[in-house]
Chain A
Amino acid sequence: MPPKRKKDVALRSEDVGIEIDAQEDSGSEEEARRRARNRRAKPSPRRAKRPVSDDEDEEEEEEEPPRRKGRRGKAKVQDSDEEEEEEEKKGRKKKPVKASNRKKKAVKEESEEEEEESAEERGKNKKRGKAPSKKEKEEQNKVKKGGKDKGSEKNKRKNSGKFSSSSGSGSDSDSLSEGEMELLKEEVEEKKKLITTLRNKPWRMKRRLQQLKEAQAFVEKFEGALGKGKGRKLYAYKVMMAKKLIKFKRDFENFKTACIPWERKIKEVESHFGSSVASYFIFLRWMYGLNLVLFGLMFGLVVMPEVLMGLPYGSIPRKTVPRPLQETAMDYSVLLDFGGFMKYSVLFYGYYNDERTIGVLQFRLPLSYLLVGVGIFGYSLMVVIRTMARNANEGGDGTDEGDFNFSWKMFTSWDYLIGNPETADNKFASITTSFKESIVDEQENQKNENIHLRRFLRVLANFFILCTLGGSGYLIYFVVKRSQEFAEINQDNLSWFEKNEVEFVMSLLGLVCPPLFETIGELEEYHPRVALKWQLGRIFALFLGNLYTFLFALFDEVNTKLENEKSIKNATITAYNEYYSNYSSFYNTTDVPPLDIQPADAIRGPCWETAVGIEFVKLTVSDIQVTYLTILIGDFLRAVLVRFLNYCWCWDLEAGFPSYGEFDISGNVLGLIFNQGMIWMGAFYAPGLVGLNVLRLLSSMYYQCWAVMSCNVPHERVFKASRSNNFYMALLLLVLFLSLLPVVYTIMTLSPSFDCGPFSGREKMYEIVMETIEKDLPAFIGNIFTYATNPGLILPAVLLMVLALYYLNALSKGYQQANLDLKKKMQMTRDEEKNRRNNKDSTNQVMKDLDDLLPNRSLIPPPEEEEPPPPVVQKGSKSPKLKPGSAANGRGVNLQKEVSLAAANPRGVVNRPPGPRGGPPGNVRGPQPGAGRGRGRGGPPPRQ
């Protein structure tokens, strides 16, 4: 306690002594009781307990006022004893109280408050005796940071003031008036709030404890008075439940994260290689999910029913290996080419029977086949578009939009939960990576060179690339043309090169062009993220040529097969007719028994659908092989060689020429996209292809994760991938459309094979739908379909859709514009604010100086600086503090009087810190010693 306060008190308080004594007495009595109850404690720190016991004492008084008088005398004696003890240790503390015994009643509360405080001090003092060194230090600290202590004292005073006053109101009469109830309630609420928010105050533990105890005692007491003493239990329960809920939520979050497949793997890759590489793996995972659904559709609705309910193998020709091939049907090489048993299995189109319904469930397999084949496209289209839309909402092309990108990275990126060395390493890597990503972005932003030169270079680069693309396109066209010519010549006259010319050229282009594009792309000096997009687009264009040749070859094959089939069909029909006519003419009967031929011996057509399916499966398998081998040789072997040959080599292999491989994002993404295109196209002809692809993606995930982590090095410029994978998705969408075309074409125009597959015997595949509508659905639905397919209806519908498209497009453009405007506005506001602050800081130097001077005054606060407490709080805090003696007066009158007196009294109960000491939070930087530490705001005092 600062000395000047002692003086104040000494001057003013007078006849408080008795009351205080009595209180202290009863406090110590209480103490004694407690001691008896609780033997475990060391020599009891009674004084330390003073504030609390005081309260309780008063509570007791409330209950039994008469007994009190009797106690008083005894109490005095005891008290004086105590005081003597006390004085030995800390004489100066007690003095003011004694001296203050000559004063008027009006200031009574005031001095009592002081007294209570001194009691507290004494308690502390005692403690200091226990732990001398620590306490000493503490005291020193307190002296040093006067501001803080003043604040805390203030708080203390406030609290004790409230205690005494409100307890006084309690002792005043048995029942509380409404207004006082309200006030009490308010205060209790306030205290409760203090209890709940205490932990949020940046105080030392000791101070918090003290505050807490005071507040707690208060709440304890008056909750009882207000008839809700059970609040505490309920409160504890609530706290417990809240805790449990938080824990549950956390666990649930963890569980959810754990349920995301490969999340950890991907995060690990991301932390070392950056988000761009991780984006590939995320794309791969997304693809896996999509393919799982496709697989589910295909196997659930087509393959499983056929296996379970369809005719078994060997029952009809289409489900049997032809006799000449049966010898080699199980040979490994044949199976590897998907011939033999593989060809005549449920994996391919030809195996399915054309019976309209199969099994006891009357499952319409052909219809299901067609619908699933089309549904796969429908579903994929829907998912791709939905994902694109969602990603677009999340928005952003990967540039950092936050105002505080770097500072957030700096101050919030480390996760304090990390306790595992491995995780910590990953985190370090990922933070470094993310810093590098942002640095790259920043450098790109800052770069401003000759814009004309750059433009010229870009045009030039695009020109080169267009030339390359055009050249390779022509090359492909030329080679395909030539191969068609070759196909007409006898195969034996061709050399090996001539036979495989197309494949050779294609792989050569695929090998040479991407690196070439990359080299040319460096001319453009795009941001790596943008460069990746260009690269993707260019290679995509190149690969389209690949696709084109493949489809070209395929349709050639299909056409020849179709012709071939026609002749076989005719031959079969003639054979049958011959048989019938021969039979009837021979036996002279019209009752001809069906021809009894073994299924294996039956004449059969080429079944072009199965051939196409096999083609796609082969392609997929070879693609898998090539990809995996490339990784094994190009990455793993290279890494091994570089690592181990480096010990005995003339130059540094790791830093020099071969080095380790970088992860090829564009190549991998495009590989994945085109592979998916193959799956979409092939799934209709080979239902097993989807299953194969699921396996491929699954293994690819693990394999590539391993490869990238063990054999690759991060890119030289780690860049942030666009947050939405929308560019990948857009490419995927394009491929989806491209692969949709041939399939729909075959369904709508080509006639299916006559002796294999679920649509055999029909003119076109889609007729199965018409058939179902006619035969299995009520007539009116058929009518509806007829109307719906009427051009008169379709044309307006298309028109309507176009209009809607136009409208929505315009709408979205409008929103975009509004968005941009708002962003600009926000930026402007921010800049403005910044400027304003800057200006204020620079221009108001005088004010700043004044601010710096201010705190010095707070050391000796003149009385008038203490603002009088606002009347409301005053009422609650002051009026009730009436001693039993004064209780005889009417309370209402007294109340008024007290209020007015208190207002005039500069030493009134202080409910808030005075102006200068409270200090605005902005002042924290100022060197004021008392920068509002006590309020829990403002800067902490320098420690040490």
Chain B
Amino acid sequence: MHFCDGKITQLEWVTSKQRLPMNSSKPIRTALSFPEKRSYGELALLHGRYRELAPHLVPLDYTNNPDIKLPLSLLVSMPELKENPFRDRIVQTFSEDGQGDLSFNDFVDMFSALCESSSRELKTRYAFKIYDFNRDNLICKEDLEKTINKLTKGELTPEEVTLVCDKAIEEADLDGDSKLSFADFENMISKAPDFLSTFHVRI
């Protein structure tokens, strides 16, 4: 085919994709079809979703490559995330500054990691980050407690929560430091039967 397909630069990609709805010249489209193997339509859809969160903020035309980020409060109101008990963590995990503000790049990142066809390894990695509330690269007891309280809406008694946390650490912790490192987490989750089927979002 054409070399120009491959020659679309990163800059161009970044800028041109923001204008997708209006511009669909072929080279761009093909260039877009490969990143993430998302088709043009999917990206346009994603951008549509991104823009619909704040139509006045996100322009259709990105020629000047403005620095647009949507705040966490807007993002968690997406129907895909609205009911998720970990919505704040998800958004924070994928935001570059860790504060939960997502640029469109981060946004695409998020949905490509959470999409059905992304790999187990990638999902494991992001899941670990999501469940690591205090971002110390270890899932410690406080993280587990937060996870449980989010999962059960705080309906378990503190004793029950402690019991569950202790059991979970006892099960998965292989190196005996009472915390789950990524290796522990990966080992545990790689044997989970329904991790892949539950840890994904369709958009």
Q: Which residues of A contact B (CB under 8 A)?
A: 34, 37-38, 40-42, 45, 48-49, 52-53, 56, 59, 123, 126-127, 130-131, 133-134, 137, 141, 195, 197, 199-202, 204-206, 208-210, 212-213, 216-217, 220-221, 229, 232-233, 236, 239, 243, 246, 250, 403-421, 423-424, 428, 431-432, 435-436, 438-439, 442-443, 833-834, 837-838, 841-842, 921-922, 924-925, 939-940, 942-944
Contact = CB atoms under 8 A, between A and B. Distances in A.
Interface in B24-46: 25, 27, 33-37
Nearest to B121: A200
A925 B167 contact: no
Contacts of A37: 4
B169 to A, nearest CB: 8
Interface bin, chain B: 35 or more
Contacts of B80: 419
A200 B164 contact: no
B6 A428 contact: no
A925 B118 contact: no
B83 A404 contact: no
Interface string B1-32: 10111111111111100000001010100000
A141 B6 CA distance: 28
Given A41-B12, A213-B10, 14 more contacts: A40-B25, A45-B12, A199-B112, A201-B122, A206-B105, A209-B35, A243-B117, A406-B171, A410-B151, A411-B188, A411-B189, A411-B192, A413-B151, A834-B174
Contacts of B88: none
A166 B96 CA distance: 36
B177 A407 contact: no
B188 A404 contact: yes
Contacts of B144: 410
B183 interface: yes
Interface in B46-70: 63-67
Nearest to A830: B174
Given A200-B119, A412-B199, A417-B200, A924 B181 contact: yes
A48 B156 contact: no
A222 to B, nearest CB: 12
A30 to B, nearest CB: 8
Given A415-B198, A418-B84, A45 B164 contact: no
21 contacts: A130-B11, A130-B65, A200-B119, A212-B34, A213-B9, A236-B33, A403-B171, A404-B192, A405-B167, A409-B164, A411-B192, A411-B195, A417-B201, A428-B153, A431-B152, A432-B153, A435-B152, A838-B176, A922-B183, A943-B135, A944-B98
B96 A141 contact: yes
Given A205-B108, A403-B191, A404-B188, A940 B11 contact: no
Given A131-B67, A199-B122, A413-B151, A229 B176 contact: no
B83 A421 contact: yes
B72 interface: no
Contacts of B180: 407
> At the interface, is chain A mostly helix, strand, loop or mixed?
helix
A907 B188 CA distance: 41
Contacts, number: 249
B137 A924 contact: yes
B75 interface: no
Contacts of A131: 65-67
Contact of B192 (A206, A412, A414): A412
Contacts of B11: 45, 48, 123, 126-127, 130
Contacts of A250: 116
Contacts of B36: 199, 208
A658 to B, nearest CB: 24
A216 B34 contact: yes
Which 10 A-B pairs rank lowest in CB-CB distance, beginning with the nearest? Answer: A944-B98, A424-B83, A200-B119, A838-B176, A217-B6, A205-B105, A406-B168, A406-B167, A432-B152, A48-B9
Given A199-B118, A403-B171, A939-B137, A38 B199 contact: no
A239 B135 CA distance: 36
Nearest to B180: A407
B25 to A, nearest CB: 7
Contacts of A213: 6, 8-10, 13
B151 A431 contact: yes
* B9, B66, B114 — most chain A CB neighbours (10 Å): B9
A406 to B, nearest CB: 4
B171 A407 contact: yes
A34 B4 CA distance: 8
B170 to A, nearest CB: 8
A471 to B, nearest CB: 42
Interface string B115-139: 0111101100111010100011110
B32 to A, nearest CB: 11
A233 B30 CA distance: 11
A108 to B, nearest CB: 25
Contacts of B202: 417
Nearest to A439: B160
A75 B126 CA distance: 48
A447 B4 CA distance: 71
A141 B106 CA distance: 15
Contacts of B15: 42, 130
Contact of B174 (A233, A412, A833, A925): A833
Nearest to B119: A200
B109 A416 contact: no
B63 A42 contact: yes
Given A212-B35, A416-B199, A435-B160, A200 B6 contact: no
B142 interface: no
Interface string B67-82: 1000000000001101
Nearest to A197: B119
A438 to B, nearest CB: 8
B84 A410 contact: no
B201 A943 contact: no
A834 to B, nearest CB: 6
A52 B183 contact: no
Contacts of A126: 11
A202 B126 contact: yes
Nearest to B154: A432
Given A205-B106, A404-B191, A419-B82, A410 B23 contact: no
A41 B31 CA distance: 15
Contacts of A123: 9-11
* B5, B10, B151, B201 — most chain A CB neighbours (10 Å): B10
Contacts of A922: 183
B138 A837 contact: no
Nearest to B138: A925
Nearest to A835: B176
A205 B109 contact: yes
A413 B195 CA distance: 8
Contact of A416 (B10, B84, B117, B136): B84
B7 A412 contact: no
Nearest to A200: B119
B67 A134 contact: yes
Contact of A232 (B1, B27, B160): B1
A403 B170 CA distance: 10
B122 A837 contact: no
Contact of B83 (A201, A418, A436, A942): A418
A194 to B, nearest CB: 12
Contacts of A232: 1
Contact of B175 (A52, A414, A420, A841): A841
Contacts of A409: 164
A925 B163 contact: no
Contacts of B148: 410, 435
A412 B155 CA distance: 19
* B6, B14, B105, B125 — most chain A CB neighbours (10 Å): B6
A420 B192 contact: no
Nearest to A443: B163
B35 A417 contact: no
Contact of B135 (A42, A435, A942): A942
Contacts of A420: 83
Nearest to A833: B174
